[in-house]
Structure 1
């Protein structure tokens, strides 16, 4: 007979695979944003966590299923039954009597794979009786039934519509009793959240591209491979609701949460020698799965009142306008509260996670002695080993940490085929683009990446806007899994599409070295390094494509205040020798300002902020740099208007394209215009228009039209339409002209 755990893996990887690609096959036709695939996977995770909790409490397999089988086989039986329990819902038109079809499908599959007794009947009976209406008898049948209920508890309209606490307790009674029966009146499951500490400090502590790649790749290996392997060994991969970008969410037995957290911490620190991870957990019962934090009933929520900080806390959670706390279900008279559900459990967990991060007293630290050879990569720790690298001829003394990163970068088993390089190649295959010697095309260092493009690189850091608020509206762990996975895929594809459109099919095939490196894509978080000429076009395309790729995800929330998902971006353009550590810090600071800009209107917008550093300055504050370069305090003017919402950036970007393509301004003229702007409003106005008046008629007319279009777009002054009056700032006037001229200068190959 085939090993049961192997059979379970086969079902997960093959039998359910067709469902993964058919999102329209739903777990419940009344719920439009939970696929059957996600529901079945989460049911399996919850069921495995449940049976493991009972085994830890002292229950024997015989007590649970009335058969003398091993604990390992019992867990596999529960897992298989859960993965198959709703397989009869294989089409939207076949939801009625799905239990019978699920049993028929399971029976056929078990027979084909030679599953023997008693496992055959144990699996089949759990599939047949996975609803309370089907009268589950044994504890193992009740475990699958409970897991099915918990996986979709937050989606149950009858729970969400309950107006009073009495009504809520009445409609949830049977499932609450089942939970209490299985766990004997105690909480049996825990949700826990984990997040890697100081990711960017670890990855970008050096300017050596191999160490940056190696550090990022090591984290990807820990987040993707090691974490999944740990859950497979301890429980099941389905217990991991989501993982990506250094964060994860999991459902575990209550008694296993702390031991698993310790093992995770040990894995991260053991493999990296310095990376730590913080976790926060919460044990939850049935109503918390379904409705989040108390109060649960709509009437009690409406009656919430507070004074002072109490009122502020209520409004910060539910919103100031109580009329928007609830939404109608499918146009019906009844309403549900937007915030109530599984997401309301995850939100305070995130807060607890941040608190624990801030309270950490002990972190790994390698002392650098006053006398000792410093690491040639990070410059922080004492070097322990000398290495000569054949590819570049470099001779480096490295500390333990940088040595591990470099070894990961040069991992012969990986062959340079890092996660995002592999994924991008898969993407190219979908475009029928075959690239010879693909992996050798990536640059070894920043000099190789930039040497043909003026020796400047751009550090791009992008992040989704207000995604956390969306997560708080999620009703079930299955929906959380669905949203997180779809957002991750949409973000990855947005990056790949943007790169493909920026460089083009032929350039990707012909270039000896590709002038970009994807450092990380985690959830909605993106970091890319690229050569200067491609930076603006790549950034603009990334935001545009992200909005398109996430349209369907946004619609699933049915939130009129959020018609689409958006992303903000911070970018630092600097010399190849400029420390990546500072470039990352400045980009992060620029991103924060871009996010503020994104929130200025009634609806969130994608936004862009950037700085072009022509001189090396050791600073990590974008605000300080922008003030130093572009603000003239005495004249009360700012030479720039950035950050821009995407619509405005696209407009000014296209005008810059027009100037460059039609060669309306030479480099010396652009520089003279920029210098004039720095001297003051009217001096700039007189100088610029005097110079334009001396140009040939064709150029003169084009430039005046462009300036007037910018003036109208940004509501500039009627008399001096180079400048806009700022009413809510210490700066009295700002201008889009300097930004326009800088875009022309930096645009480079993206304008060709």
Structure 2
């Protein structure tokens, strides 16, 4: 026998276990069966019939008539009569939990704790032991298994019913997994309880449902299969408003059958679970399960001391930490995780021993650990990041606060928030659990390695100066890693990076995400299994981008990234910065949707430079409408051009580089920016006047700014510093954004190496 894929093993396991609490066969037989399937060997005789039907399910031909559908229960009685559990769950209101505190160690700890639960502890329920080059998780996973069995002590144990192959995915803060039919509620309860037990205050939700095993391939079916709404009925009633609401509106009659087949699949089961998930999260009643209507609450009292966030009663006054903070129990957990993330496995610190708490975080493998392992396996990226031999041998510390990150970047930092585009539309076309699993793995790999490459090629350890805190463990002259990975989960990314490299990092993340999925960048040991190339749709530059330069046509990726970048002073309140960055990401996503209607599937980036905390009183969109959009003698002028496509951002950065090389006088840069508000002609006249007075760099400025961005649409002239949008009948300019970034953006003397066809190790 050939080695069997994990989904077939999962279905075979649930078939063999049966619908009851007690398994139909002994655990020894079940484990022998799984081992044989994994090794491609002969399975025990008593389960061979089950294995055969499970394997046939993977190759089941879709019945295109109700008559063919009616024959399936007789042809596959085991698949029709047997049930399987499907559980979906994870953390909710994640940002509320992560950014509840204002200190970087607490944010790092909150994110690390959620990652630990999702990536290590929930898979440990299924007897998964993570592979790590740094740590041995065997003891910890045994402890998690013991916790599961003690808290859900029915016989047989919950952990005995779960195997690694049951997990479809466990990334991005969520888990989707099969289980034997009678264990769905226990598993969902265990997921919710683990989040609460480990975090105290993080919200979580999990739901489970049982389905016929045949439904994992054909979608939801009626108990009386003859009454199932099937293709013939759909062809007759596809215009019915209720049917349209469920299946979607059909504009092309030739796609009726395709639409139906896509919908009647495993995707229909996950949709039902998602609805159940939203109902339970909203506090609705769930039969046979504890209610979620009363989430964890910690009462405060007017005469008790509250923690730093003024949310809960403090239980400890920590004299050993900077600022001698008063901390509540939930914040102590975050701070303890944040401390452990900096040092890996370490002794319990004195400040934590003094609290008297017995809660321990266990192994915390930080994102920095994973990034350094990536560098260890990739000598080119390692050399690019560390540079000189001194940086490779000298101790490199981790920033303890935003102050440290700001001190290595001219007192400015940048927040980068990226989220995947077209994910929902792509998932709707996924028909099988196997495709779900492969999609999740592909996106996780593309996201993770895109971030690692962008950081390696654009940053290097930096020497910190100007630190005045006597209690700080980071001193003047120390080298620090100049970034913070808050989270990389599924298709979500949240980073804090130096302001001078923020746009280059954001651009490269978007580029490499698509390149990895299209297999232009190879990752050693990782196989991209899905097909992400847009068929018969080459990217044509002039159709989608605003610059005039023609670029070569290339294949597009069905998935991409929308990114928001906020560049601001390091002392900007982090909850405020996170909110604005989220607004920018949504603005970029909105722009990406509008471009997709014209055939552009690529990534988009919106950015904003905020040099004063009081600069924006409401939101960025409102600020741009009121302060940066003017009506000048009937001509609508936009004093900004964001969002940008990724190729546009590349040309934008080259324009800044041209200005820097031309040594364009700063006073004149600001003068031209001031003239923008006086109208199109006044700004143009002053721009050309100043440009002709430059002693050097005129040709580069003309080539990389005027000719690229500012040619007139109706004649051969230039209208610098403006460009005209024929569709919106609006003049817009990149000049203001160039001026805002002129002193902040830095370019290296040598360009980053080409990475489009190189082999990247895991």
Inter-partner Cα distance in structure 2 for 1:511 and 1:175: 71
In structure 2, what is the Cα distance between the partners aligned to 1:716 and 1:443? Answer: 53
Q: Is 1:305 paired with 2:270?
A: no
Residue 61 of structure 2: aligned partner? 159
The alignment partner of 1:733 has SS state of strand
Task: Check conservation: 1:555, 1:564, Cα contact below 8 A.
Answer: no
SS in 2 for 1:448: helix
Secondary structure of 2:248's partner? helix
Q: Distance in 1 between matches of 2:490 and 2:642?
A: 26
User: Following the alignment from structure 2 to structure 1, what is the Cα–Cα distance between the partners of residues 714 and 402?
Assistant: 40
Partner in structure 1 of residue 298 of structure 2: 366
- Given the two structures, how large is their TM-score scaled by the length of structure 2? 0.75
1:177 to 1:582, Cα distance in 2 relative to 1, 3 A: same
C-alpha contact (below 8 Å) 1:590/1:609 kept by paired residues: yes
Structure 1: stretches of 5+ with no match in the other structure: 1-25, 28-35, 66-73, 89-101, 104-123, 127-137, 328-334
Select 2:199's aligned residue among 259, 264, 272: 272
Q: Is the partner of 1:306 in helix, strand or coil?
A: coil
Aligned residues: 631
Which of 349, 364, 367 is the equivalent residue of 2:273? Answer: 349
Q: 2:444, 2:107 → 1: CA distance?
A: 22
Q: How does 1:105-124 map to 2 (within 5 A)?
A: 124=43
1:566 to 560, 582, 589: 560
Deviation string 1:344-372 (CA, Å, 9 cap, x unpaired) is: 32234334433443457433333555555
Which residue of 214, 234, 252 corresponds with 1:321?
Answer: 252
Conserved? CA contact 2:73–2:80, under 8 Å: no
**Mapped pair 1:586 → 2:580:** yes
CA distance in 2, matches of 1:80, 1:712: 70
Residues 403/750 of structure 1: CA separation in 2 closer, same or farther (3 Å cut): farther
371, 386, 392: which one aligns with 2:317: 386
Residues 612/80 of structure 1: CA separation in 2 closer, same or farther (3 Å cut): farther
Which residue matches 1:215?
A: 110
8 Å contact kept, 1:43–1:83: no
In the alignment, which of 321, 327, 339 is matched to residue 398 of structure 1?
327
Residue aligning to 1:624: 622
1:245 to 153, 172, 188: 172
Compared CA separation, residues 261 and 555, structure 1 to 2 (3 A): closer
Distance 1:627 1:751 in 2: 38
- Which of 742, 748, 755 is the matching residue for 1:744? 742
Counterpart contact for 1:575–1:613, Cα < 8 Å: yes
1:646-685 equivalences under 5 Å are: 646-660=646-660, 662-685=661-684
Give 2:551's aligned residue.
none
Deviation at 1:631, TM superposition (A): 2.7
| 1:561-584: CA deviation from partner (whole Å, max 9, x where unpaired) | 774421110111111111111111
Say if 2:392 is the partner of 1:421: no
Q: What CA deviation, in whole Å up to 9, does each residue of 1:431-490 have, x standing for no partner?
A: 234875798522111111120211111111111112122222222212211221122122
Change (3 A) 1:348 1:688: farther
Match of 2:123 in 1: 228
**CA RMSD of superposed structures (Å):** 3.3
* Equivalent residues of 1:491, 1:524 under 8 A apart: yes
Report if aligned partners of 1:346, 1:472 keep a CA contact under 8 Å in 2.
no
For 1:700 and 1:513, how far apart are their aligned partners in 2?
39
What secondary structure is seen at the aligned counterpart in 1 of 2:312? coil
Give 5+ residue unaligned stretches, structure 2: 128-144, 146-157, 222-227, 285-292, 347-362, 465-476, 520-527, 538-555, 751-762
User: Do the aligned residues in 1 keep the contact of 2:16 with 2:50 (CA within 8 Å)?
Assistant: yes
Worse-matched range after superposition: 458-467 or 552-561? 552-561
Residue equivalent to 1:522 = 489
Matches within 5 A, 1:409-558: 409-411=338-340, 414-415=345-346, 418-432=365-379, 433=382, 440-503=396-459, 512-552=479-519, 553=528, 556=531
- Shift of the 557–462 alpha-carbon distance from structure 1 to 2, 3 Å rule, reads closer
Q: Partner residue of 2:470?
A: none
Hey, what does 1:98 align to over in structure 2? none
User: Out of 177, 182, 201, which is 2:77 matched to?
Assistant: 177
Q: 1:275 to 1:564 in 2, by over 3 A?
A: same
For residues 574 and 365 of structure 1, do their structure 2 counterparts lie closer, same or farther at Cα, with a shift above 3 Å needed?
farther
Q: Which residue of 2 aligns with 1:330?
A: none
Quickly say closer, same or farther: Cα 1:506–1:272, change in 2 above 3 A. Answer: closer
1:224-268 per-position Cα deviation (integer Å, ceiling 9, x unaligned): 222122233422232221111211101122322112211211111
CA drift at 1:541: 0.6
Sort the Cα spacing of 1:629 and 1:348 in 2 relative to 1 into closer, same or farther, 3 A. Answer: farther
Shift of 1:692: 1.6
Distance, in Å, in 2 between the alignment partners of 1:86 and 1:554 is 19
**Residues 365 and 579 (structure 1 numbering): CA distance in 2 closer, same or farther, change over 3 Å?**
farther
Q: Distance in 2 between matches of 1:533 and 1:558?
A: 33
Alignment partners' CA distance in 2, 1:239 and 1:522: 20
Contact 1:551–1:564 (Cα < 8 Å) also in 2: no
CA distance in 1, matches of 2:711, 2:74: 61
Task: Give 1:296 deviation, angstroms.
Answer: 7.8
| Matches of 1:225 and 1:394, distance apart in 2 | 33
Report the secondary structure of 1:410's partner residue: helix
C-alpha separation between the residues in 2 aligned to 1:293 and 1:430? 46
CA contact (8 A) 1:607 1:643 kept: yes
What per-residue deviation string (whole Å, max 9, x for no partner) do you get for residues 652-701 of structure 1? 122222322x14323333222222223322221122222223222x4334
More helix by share: 1
| Consecutive aligned runs of 4 or more in structure 1 exceeding 6 Å deviation | 505-508
* CA–CA separation in structure 1 for the residues paired with 2:282 and 2:107: 25
